[in-house]
């Protein structure tokens, strides 16, 4: 199994983001907790966690709740 993040803009369209694979869910979540602040600068507004292409959860906004 491999985990990765799908990156999307505010309208839900896929956008480019870091192409990083993770061995397990906790590793993927730890990476995101360290990197999420930089992703909006690259046009990423929301992310979805994938496990071998299947959605685990998301989309999850990277913007603070208003």
**Which residues partner with 48 through β-bridges?**
6
- Tell me the two tokens of residue 64: 């603070």
Does this model's pTM top 0.85? My answer is yes
pLDDT at 9 (0 to 100) = 96
Helices (H) then strands (E): counts for the chain: 1, 3
Give the model confidence (pLDDT) of 27-63 as tens digits.
999 999 999 999 999 999 999 999 999 999 999 999 8
Give the model confidence (pLDDT) of 3-26 as tens digits.
999 999 999 999 999 999 999 999
Residues 58, 46 contacting (CB under 8 angstroms): yes
Q: DSSP secondary-structure letter at 17?
A: -
Residues 49, 57 contacting (CB under 8 angstroms): yes
């Amino acid at each position: 199994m491999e985990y990765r993040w799908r990156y999307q803009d505010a309208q839900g369209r896929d956008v480019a983001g870091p192409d990083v694979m993770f061995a397990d869910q906790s590793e993927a979540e730890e990476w995101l907790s360290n990197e999420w602040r930089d992703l909006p600068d690259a046009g990423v507004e929301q992310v979805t966690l994938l496990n071998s292409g299947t959605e685990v959860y998301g989309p999850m906004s990277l913007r603070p709740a208003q």
